[in-house]
Amino acid sequence: MATLGVNIDHIANVRQARKTVEPDPVQFAFLAELGGADSITVHLREDRRHIQDRDVFLLRETIKTKLNLEMAATPEMLKIAKKLLPDYITLVPEKREEVTTEGGLDVKSNFQYLKNFVENLTDSNIEVSAFIDPFDEQINYSKEIGFNFIELHTGKYAELSGYAQYEELQRIIESTHLANDLGLVVNAGHGLNYNNVKKIASINNMNELNIGHSIVARALAIGLEKSVREMKSLITSN
Bridge partners of 41? 7, 68
Q: Which residues contact 15 (CB under 8 A, 6 or more apart)?
A: 21, 22, 23, 24, 25, 50
Coil, strand or helix: which one is 110?
coil
Q: Residue 96: its pLDDT value, please? A: 62
Active-site position among 10, 50, 70, 208: 70
Active-site position among 10, 50, 153, 190: 190
Q: Which CATH superfamily is domain 3-212 in?
A: Aldolase class I (3.20.20.70)
Q: Which residues contact 217 (CB under 8 A, 6 or more apart)?
A: none
43 flagged as catalytic? yes
Q: What does the domain layout of the chain look like in residue ranges?
A: 3-212
Q: Residue 95: its pLDDT value, please? A: 72
Peptide bond just before 25 cis, omega within 30 deg: no
Q: How many CB atoms lie under 10 A from the CB of residue 63?
A: 18
70 flagged as catalytic? yes
pLDDT in tens, the chain (238 residues): 899 999 999 999 999 999 999 999 999 999 999 999 999 999 999 999 999 999 999 999 999 999 999 999 999 999 999 999 999 999 999 876 655 666 899 999 999 999 999 999 999 999 999 999 999 999 999 999 999 999 999 999 999 999 999 999 999 999 999 999 999 999 999 999 999 999 999 999 999 999 999 999 999 999 989 989 998 898 898 6
Active-site position among 43, 153, 168, 208: 43
Bridge partners of 132? 152
**Which pTM does this prediction carry?**
0.94
10 flagged as catalytic? no
